[in-house]
Structure 1
Amino acid sequence: MTYEAFHDELRDTRWPLNNGAGSMPAVGFGTLFRDLSTTTAAVKYALESGFRHFDCAERYRNEAQIGVAFQEVFAAGKIRREDVFITTKLWNTNHRPERVRPAFEASCQRLQTDYIDCYLIHTPFAFKPGDDQDPRDVFGHVIYDGEISLLDTWRALESLVDEGRCKSIGLSDITLEALKEIVAAARIKPAVVQIEAHPYLPEWEMLEFCQQHGIILLAFAPLGHGMQPNVLEDAVLTSIARNVQKTPAQVALAWAVQRGTAFLTTSATPSRIQENFAIATLPQRAMLEIKGEISTRIRFNSVVETGVPGFIARKP
């Protein structure tokens, strides 16, 4: 069976934001590139391929190049700013409330946009405030900021929503326990939680909590980031891929949307960008197989433990 003969609507899925500020496309494009010089061309190609949800961050150091891509595409007239969902993130060194608005304004300026659809706290860990994004002591240890709580930072984000230039707010790289504390204390509830999630780290408990509170779970590394053990070589996924005449990546991404999450994939390769967008609905049997027959459980990124992003190098 092939799905290419008709337009499957799975790729058009949108999840509503719980504060009434519209909806987020489930299919998202991440902008953390190894080679920053590929940023503008990759983002333009992703827009042309159909992506309408872009995930950025001040920490990625390429918001300006993304802004150039947006403006060039918007100026051509086929895609409008309001057609695109733009997320960016507050970095760890800007957690103090007085630093939040300047960081937000700087991201808007670099991205060349008057408003942000979703602003996330990049990690729950506050680092020593300043221009150095990776503050370390003489021993190479991260210098944390013990004078600020995550709730203090959250209150500053709530103020951005009040002012209208930030449509929604959320959290990233957070544990379920820490999320529960913010949800309990927040005046404006998180609309989005971005965490690592894929068939080897399905985060079912987090997903259940998010769905109870109308929070969108946004998965990064939905294909396992090419790490070992390789999600895309899993026997269950490869078997389903053969049966539905899709790639293992397309199967994993369809699974992500069909179980109720949004996802982010990143590539600078046009064929891969197209592949990641061209997902199609899986048979219910395939969904049950992925949930019931894949037992491998592994986290590939340790950021949730330290606030320092990075995929864990493992010995073969």
Structure 2
Amino acid sequence: MVDPDTLRYTRIPLAHGTGSLPAVGFGTLIPDPLVTKQATKAALEAGFRHLDAAERYRNEAAVGEAMQEVFKAGTVRREDVFVTTKLWNTNHRPERVKPALDASLGRLQLDYIDCYLIHTPFAFRPGDDQDPRDEQGNVIYDSGVTLIDTWRALEQLVDEGRCRSIGLSDIKLETLKEIVAAARIKPAVVQVESHPYLPEWDLLEFCREHGIVVQAFAALGHAMEPRMLEDPVITSIAARVRKTPAQVALAWAVQRGTAFLTTSTKPDRIRENFAVSSLPEDALWEIRHNIRTSVRFNGVVETGVPGFIPRAG
């Protein structure tokens, strides 16, 4: 019997960009380049049509190799894959933005990027060291550039056709409001940590009002304590609908109007994460109203330094 449910193929039109964003996305934050390539190919073969990369991950070349092999095999076309990558904190100065995108395009072996995100709102000291620190180990920030300066440089990239949409990542609502108010080209996408333990309803409502797509990373709680996928609300729904807890959390993400990213190196888990299907309305209500835990797993919004927060467990 063929599953008629089409939730996994949901695409969200971009009000401030070209085309539409596949709601089901694959993140490529994988340390080993060879494993990155294998996982990216497995994701495309499983049906994922959105790949999320970043200069900071140091593996764009492996993502590019995986895409090119699949494109050349004729099983997937470039125009069917939405590719996102991100500008790192050390390249916030306007004169560094275009060279940074060009370098990403070269590593990814692409002529254009579907969406280019500012990885965090924090500017670090410009240079080749992605994690500049002083003698005390503190991050060296760059006070010589503002976020709107960097945004103007991204707008120019859209004008030149180098990227088809632009957006922000790891940003708080207050800062997002400032950019939206000042922007000539509005953000098409905002990527933030979000899951049933951090639903970000206020951010989501603001983005809905302004035609911005919210994309959730750590959509499964990043396997950290407290373990979201062991929450009794989610596990009881999973048993009832005969899906895994992960599939429940991911379906919830799509049905409330957001996109999501998951990352795995295991082909069976990659296929499982793609195979989401719709939850009944009562399940969506339970997740919104019966889950009491509130946790942010990643502290990047406070410092600009990516890192999941260790917790006693």
Q: Structure 2 length as normaliser, TM-score?
A: 0.99
Which position in structure 2 is the counterpart of 1:157? 154
Separation in 2 of the partners of 1:36 and 1:101? 25
TM alignment of 1:91-106, pairs within 5 A:
91-106=88-103
- The match for 1:171 among 168, 173, 184 is 168
Which position in structure 2 is the counterpart of 1:44? 41
Deviation at 1:35, TM superposition (A): 3.1
Separation in 1 of the partners of 2:179 and 2:164? 18
SS in 2 for 1:18: coil
Deviations 1:141-162 (A, max 9, x none): 0000001000000000000000
Separation in 2 of the partners of 1:65 and 1:35? 9
Q: 2:20 matched to 1:23?
A: yes
Which position in structure 2 is the counterpart of 1:296? 293
Separation in 1 of the partners of 2:2 and 2:70? 28
SS in 1 for 2:162: coil
- The match for 2:138 among 136, 141, 150 is 141
Which position in structure 1 is the counterpart of 2:212? 215
Which position in structure 1 is the counterpart of 2:228? 231
Q: CA RMSD in A?
A: 0.8
- State the one-letter code of the partner of 1:12: Y
- The match for 2:255 among 254, 258, 263 is 258
Q: 2:131 matched to 1:124?
A: no
Which position in structure 1 is the counterpart of 2:309? 312
- The match for 1:277 among 274, 278, 288 is 274
SS in 1 for 2:148: helix
Separation in 2 of the partners of 1:5 and 1:23? 26
Deviations 1:279-313 (A, max 9, x none): 00000000000001001001000000000000001
Deviation at 1:5, TM superposition (A): 4.3
> Where in structure 1 do 4 or more consecutive aligned residues deviate above 4 Å?
none
Deviations 1:186-221 (A, max 9, x none): 000000000000000000000000000010000000
Which position in structure 2 is the counterpart of 1:72? 69
SS in 2 for 1:135: coil
- Worse-matched range after superposition: 202-211 or 35-44: 35-44
Separation in 2 of the partners of 1:6 and 1:307? 42
Deviations 1:232-277 (A, max 9, x none): 0000000000000000000000000000000000001001000000
Which position in structure 2 is the counterpart of 1:191? 188
Deviation at 1:8, TM superposition (A): 1.1
Deviation at 1:20, TM superposition (A): 4.6
Which position in structure 2 is the counterpart of 1:205? 202
Separation in 2 of the partners of 1:82 and 1:36? 24
8 Å contact from structure 2 (residues 116, 166) kept in 1: yes
Separation in 1 of the partners of 2:152 and 2:31? 33
Deviation at 1:165, TM superposition (A): 1.7
Separation in 1 of the partners of 2:32 and 2:199? 29
SS in 2 for 1:127: coil
Separation in 1 of the partners of 2:60 and 2:92? 19
Separation in 1 of the partners of 2:2 and 2:226? 34
Q: 2:244 matched to 1:247?
A: yes
Separation in 2 of the partners of 1:168 and 1:50? 23
Deviation at 1:47, TM superposition (A): 0.3
Q: Identical aligned pairs, as a percentage?
A: 71
